[in-house]
Structure 1
Amino acid sequence: MFVRVMSREECQGVVAAGDLARLACCRDDQPYIVPITYAHSGNRLYCFSMPGQKIDWMRSNPKVSLQIAEFASNRQWKSVVVTGRYQELPATQGCHHERIHAWSLLEKKPNWWEPGGLKPVPQEISGASAHIFFCVEMDEMTGRAACAGEL
């Protein structure tokens, strides 16, 4: 097996094809990582959550990382790490169109609302819903790929 650096285009392909990431955030020098469903559009990864620890932590420190993997076997895989900034999409008129965009992308993913909560209906998106839509504005993306065989 050997491991190689992936090109930016290869990294973008893994991110575009995926829907599950591990989201890492940090507060008071303590890291926290959770699985999360995402949808990719442009330079943003859109996500959904209910209020809780990760939202509290990202509000206090918006610097986050996401790890996205394609796994064929323990000797053949791709892993991309994205660093970026958390940006909440509040239920305000100014974010209405982007929230609808996030929801329209996420709803195409199987079980996208799990474990975040129940699937919202359009009226809840513009109302006082506890559902939180957010995006990660991607700053940097790097990747590695493992292949079976010898160099």
Structure 2
Amino acid sequence: MPISYAYGDGCVYGHCAGGKKLDLMRARPEVCVEVEDVRGLTDWRSVIAQGRFEELSGDQADEAMQLLMRRFRRERPSRTALPDDGHGTTDHGHGAGTGAPVLYRIRLHSRTGRGETPR
């Protein structure tokens, strides 16, 4: 299932609303994360990492949200900042799931990668 994420201190940070993804991670916290950068048939990279899902709250959740916001502001400089929803978060427009966003961390304990680049 796709996620928006930020990486820091050996962990993947993300957020989601209530739904199947969150239910599955809560039930089986040992998870796998795959990241791909595909630019063409002979120009690609892929990383698969294993880790443990941890739901965050309080200051840890606030720090995770700030990390996510910094990443996406940096990657999309031509867009204006997303409007504040009055709860210190932004309207990400996903529209999926129910309830307040849940911030989480996946503490990575192993990873492997492959890739191919043009000559």
| Range into which the TM-score falls when normalised by the shorter chain | 0.7 to 0.9
Aligned equivalent of 1:132: 102
List structure 1 segments (4+ residues) > 4 angstroms apart after TM superposition: none
Matched, 1:122 2:88: yes
Q: Which has the higher contact order (CA 8 A, sep 6+)?
A: 2
> What residue in structure 1 maps to residue 45 of structure 2?
78
Determine what percentage of the aligned residue pairs are the same residue: 26
- TM-score when scaled to structure 1? 0.60
Gaps of 5+ in 2: 76-82, 90-98
- Provide closer, same or farther for how the CA distance between residues 119 and 51 of structure 1 changes in structure 2, counting only shifts above 3 A: farther
Structure index of larger Rg: 1
What are the equivalent positions in structure 2 for 1:73-112 lying under 5 Å apart? 73-90=40-57, 96-108=58-70, 109=72
Q: 3-state DSSP class of the match of 2:109?
A: strand
TM-score if structure 2 supplies the norm length?
0.75
Structure 1 unaligned regions, length at least 5: 1-33, 91-95, 112-117, 124-128
Structure 1 residues 119 and 67 mapped into 2: Cα distance closer, same or farther (>3 Å)?
farther
**Structure 2 counterpart SS, 1:143:** strand
Residue aligning to 1:21: none
Map 1:7-86 onto structure 2 (within 5 A).
34-86=1-53
Describe the shift of the 1:146–1:49 C-alpha distance in structure 2 as closer, same or farther (beyond 3 A).
Answer: same
RMSD over aligned CA atoms reads: 2.2
2:111 matches 1:141: yes
Name the CA distance, whole Å, in 2 between partners of 1:68 and 1:83: 12
Distance, in Å, in 1 between the alignment partners of 2:117 and 2:8 is: 29
Pair 62,104 (structure 1): closer, same or farther in 2 beyond 3 Å: same
